[in-house]
Structure 1
Amino acid sequence: MRKVSITTRLTLLFAGTSATVLLGLGILISKSLDAHFASEDYSALEERIELIQTTSIESTAETLPLKLETALKNYPGFIAQVTSRDHGIVYATKNFDFALPNAIAKTNKRFEWTENGQKYRGVLYRSPLGSRNPENLTILVGLSTLIHEHFMGSFTYTLFAFVLGATVLCGLLGWWAARRGLEPLRAMSSRAKTVTGSHLHERMPVESVPVEIADLAHTLNAMLARLQQDFQRLSDFSSDIAHELRTPITNMMTQTHVTLTQPRSNEKYRDIMASNAEEMQRLARMISDMLYLAKTENGLNLPSSEDVFLAKEIDALFEFYEALAEDKTVTLSATGASVIRGDKLMIRRAISNVLSNALRHAYPHTCIQVQILEENSKSIVNITNTGDVIPVDQITSIFDRFFRAD
């Protein structure tokens, strides 16, 4: 199933939101107009009731119908019925030829009803006893809503047409805004396509992107920087390992070719084979170390953990390197003690590597000092010698595999 793009989602969101807001506004306007028309109609009907009351006070039962006919004839859609308790129906408009709904029974009540498919708004009024009117009259007036219905129908049609057009327009504007808003992402995508193993120096644009995307650009740039660094280290590692492997292999090939140039004694062949065996053992150790480091870094060969007495391990290493130190006229000194947990063999090997390097580069008649410290629940082993200083630009690389300072 094809996934919906962000542009399409935003476009639909803009269009849906606009349609909902406009439709809600249209419904609110329609309700307000209908309420306004109802208020106007009821106000007009109450004015007609006052007119009928005034006319009935000034008239007799015989003259009242004619006066009401004259007073009410210029009101289109208006119906009225005046009933006297003593004389029955005193006056009724010509189009009032239907019975009232049974629910209409209360004085001064506003109501609506439908007759022959036509909707009316009406007011029923009964003059109270003791009023100036000599007769108790029941006045029913009504007004057809046909004109309002025609207007509201036309208004509703226009409103929905406007909502539909505005929704389409908002959708188009939303599509354009989404396209423009996502342009930085497309620029980042185009830039990302140029990133390859040989072009890891490329970076995502940061200055030209919005604040919301700037964090993503910075994160991607940091990731690319790490990848570039790792690729460079991998390239350097490949070069270094090729150099390390080439030397013993070249030695064996040269020695073998020289041996094959002429017949030699069994003793000579034995010496050559022993020399080749030493070179192969060196290669085997190197390959074994590489495999161990690779497995450890990927969590495939977790080291064992045990209590390691650092002072005891350093004393054992001093005994191992004692002969080499005497040959170089270098003395060894150790102070402090600490117990840590870790892989005993690997800890001894790490200290041995640093100690052998210190012996190799120490000046004659100097002292190599090993100091064991405990600070903030941490154990620190400082190995100090007096010798050539490592160049500043190479200090960060001294822990890289196969690295040798110039």
Structure 2
Amino acid sequence: MRPAPARPLVWRLSVWLAIQSLMGLMLVAMGVYLATAWSLSIREQETLEQRHAVVKHLIEEAVANADPVTLRHKLDDFFVGTTGVGLRLELPDGKPLYERAMQGAHNHTRAVTFEQPWPLDPQRSIRGALTLDTTLDDSLLERLAAILVVSALAGAMLISLTGSALVRRSLMPVLALSRQIRSLGPAGLHGRLDGIGQPEELQPVVEQFNALLQRLEQAYAQLEAFNADVAHELRTPLAALIGHSEVALSRPRSVQELQEVIGNNLDDLRRLSGIVNDMLFLSKADRGARARRVPVPSVAELVNEVVEFHEAALQEANLQSRVTGDASGAYDAALLRRALSNLLANATRYASPGTTVEVEIAMPLPDVLQLVVSNTGTEIGREHLPRLFDRFYRAEASREHSDLNHGLGLAIVAAIARMHDGQPFVDSHSGRTSIGLRLSTTAAAASSSSRQR
């Protein structure tokens, strides 16, 4: 089941921006509200303390004269023009001494209680309660809270709308890149993304994508060339098979003539089979096949076996052979024989008669095996060296025996090197050509060596 597509990026960014903005504005609003409430609370407390100090002073003066009536008159004078403040005084026996109630309905109040010594009875005290009306302050806080909440919501909505427009505008370069990418296809791989006007953050993306297009273009060109080469290589033996068969069937033939035709066809079929087998091997190597390593105590012994197998071809070409050096390690012996066989066959075809084909075994590094097959003959042009290990590539199509060589030998050598975590190499100068490969002794050593490099 196909997963549901994710919500648009603009929507997600706008929503998260609105949420974060709302959280930030609510924190600011809460700070403003708490600061205001704290300031009002301090002001109320100071008001009560001021009133308490005055009332305490008046009580002390009146009590000193033992004149409660004078105290009441002074308290009445004190509260003239004062609203929102109430006072209640009680004698030690609980009887009210003075009481002034706040006017109107008071839903929110703040009070402070106190005791004052009573001179008529030093062991006892009068009790008082001073009350302050905080309804206006509490109403102010309620209105402030409502205003702050509405402002935070409105601000978050405004930030969300402007943020959405800003995100859309910021994503315009991405949409432009998307349109450029959509216009690319197999026929237009030569095109590249235009990084002009793109923000700095997108420049690495443009560069990496253009590099990917470059690799894809090269791979596509190689694939087309490879398909053409395969068709060309298969067409020649198939055409020969068809021609021989048509000639054989054009008129009655003797058994000997038919056997000759079948023999010729068998040679072409073997060549076709070799091409197909080599292509299957290269395909497996391209899919990441690895060499099956086993301990090889003596590489020189393995090389001598391959040289002995090619001894007849070397003698026919009037060539000598020499093997120098030795090494040991873990390799795929069968693949190593195949690579050496291809290198020796290549050297035998192009070496000058009367010269020596040399196979050198060395270990330039403790975990690297180097095998080099050298021959004396016509040099390979420098322009051909980078492509010498490409499939079906021949430095000179007119060279001797090129009709028998279908151009996959060195490509297989390169594939075997890669399967051993190594690489092939070639050098040709001063009339001497050296082709070989470097292999890691073990897979663990290869990974360790790559980390060190």
TM-score, length of structure 1 as denominator length: 0.84
- Write out aligned runs for 1:217-256 (5 A): 217-256=206-245
Structure 1 residue aligned with 2:137: 148
Give the CA deviation at 1:248. Answer: 0.5
C-alpha contact (below 8 Å) 1:308/1:344 kept by paired residues: no
Q: Quick one: distance in 2 between partners of 1:34 and 1:156?
A: 10
Q: Which runs of 5+ in 1 are unaligned?
A: 98-115
Q: Report the CA distance between 1:238 and its aligned residue.
A: 0.8
Asked whether the 8 Å contact 1:358–1:385 carries over to 2, the reply is yes
Query: Which whole-Å CA distance do the structure 1 matches of 2:21 and 2:305 have between them?
Result: 81
Q: What is the CA-CA distance between 1:212 and the residue it aligns to?
A: 4.6
Report the more deviating stretch, 299-308 or 344-353. Answer: 299-308
Matched, 1:68 2:68: no
* 1:341-352 matches, cutoff 5 A: 341-352=330-341
Give 1:217 shift. Answer: 4.2
| Alpha-carbon distance, 1:312 to partner | 2.6
1:405 is aligned with what amino acid?
A
1:50: how far off?
2.4
Match of 2:387 in 1: 397
Percent identity over paired residues: 26
Q: In the alignment, residue 12 of structure 1 is paired with which amino acid? A: V
Equivalences for 1:245-324 in 2 at 5 Å? 245-298=234-287, 303=292, 305=294, 307=296, 309-324=298-313
Structure 2 unmatched runs, 5+: 397-453
CA distance in 2, matches of 1:74, 1:2: 72
Q: Does 1:176 align with 2:179?
A: no
Q: How many residues align?
A: 386
Cα distance in 1 for residues equivalent to 2:272 and 2:293? 26
* 2:40 equivalent to 1:37: yes
Aligned AA for 1:80? L
Task: Report if the CA contact (8 A) 2:84-2:103 is conserved.
Answer: no
Q: Aligned residue for 1:26?
A: 29
Q: Does the 8 Å contact 1:373/1:380 carry over to 2? A: yes
**2:386 matched to 1:379?**
no
Cα contact 2:18–2:159 (8 A) shared by 1:
yes
Provide, for residues 38-91 of structure 1, a one-character-per-residue CA deviation record: whole Å limited to 9, x for no partner.
211121122222222333445531232233222213122211123333793222
Deviations 1:182-201 (A, max 9, x none): 34433333333233233333
Contact 1:42 1:123 in 2 (8 A): no
C-alpha separation between the residues in 1 aligned to 2:49 and 2:149?
35
Listed one character per residue, the Cα deviations across residues 319-349 of structure 1 (whole Å, up to 9, x for unaligned) are 3433433443333222112234333332222
1:88-167 → structure 2 map (5 Å cutoff) = 88-95=95-102, 118-128=107-117, 136-167=125-156
Structure 1 CA distance for aligned equivalents of residues 193 and 96 of structure 2: 91
Render the CA deviation track for 1:20-48: whole Å, top value 9, x for unaligned.
Answer: 12112212221221121121112112222
Q: Secondary structure at the match of 2:68?
A: coil
Moved more, 270-279 or 389-398: 389-398
Paired letter, 1:392: R
Q: Does 1:55 align with 2:58?
A: yes
- For the aligned residues, what is the CA RMSD? 3.0
